[in-house]
Amino acid sequence: MKNETKRSVADSMETRTKILPYLPYLIQDLWVMGSSINQILSGIESLNLLANATVLDLCCGKGGVSVQIAKKFGFKVTGVDAMSVFLDIAQKKAKEYNVSHLCEFIEQDVNDYSKHSHNFDLVILASAGAVFGDNKKTLGILRSQIKSGGYIFIDDGYLREGSTISNRKGYEYCMTYQDTKDALLS
């Protein structure tokens, strides 16, 4: 893994790069890492996507979101993550849930993967933090991954109204819910 990728992964996991080799052990009991799977599934259900929809799950981790989308909706899901050990677990879970034919897992830095435009019906960025930078840059990158009329699903946290975080790596782009909503709609 390139040093730049290691830093990106460490930032999204809110840790230091020297911890990365130990992450699989430290979070071995977590399959869906930080994402609200029920909210994601409910949100997708409301989109009324066609049966042959394609989904991109960026920073897919161990595949918890990808596998459950494939299982519930029968969609073809591509998960991208830089941690090979996580992707091994994702592939095992896809097999366990009988959706390995619907799931493809790619080991790559999401920043590199997203340099090329794709044509997905839906792109998901769940609990990855500011892996692409500020909201405007992130939205531009995510838009390049979907076809015209496609959907973007971002599952992330927000600051409490009136709160700020300064000088904390990975949090420099955090905003309140309203500020985030305003930025995404502008």
Contact between residue 5 and residue 82 where contact means Cβ atoms under 8 Å apart: yes
Residue with tokens 């700020």, as numbered in its chain: 164
pLDDT in tens, 112-123: 999 999 999 999
Residue 37's pLDDT band, with cuts at 50, 70 and 90, is: confident
pLDDT in tens, 125-166: 987 666 777 777 888 899 999 999 999 888 776 666 776 666
Q: How far is 95 from 130, CA to CA, in rounded Å?
A: 31
The torsion angles phi and psi of 104, rounded to 5 degrees, stand at: -120, 130
- Region of 79 on the Ramachandran plot (φ > 0 left; ψ -120 to 50 alpha; else beta): beta
Q: What torsion, rounded to 10 degrees, do the Cα atoms 70, 76, 78, 79 define?
A: 0
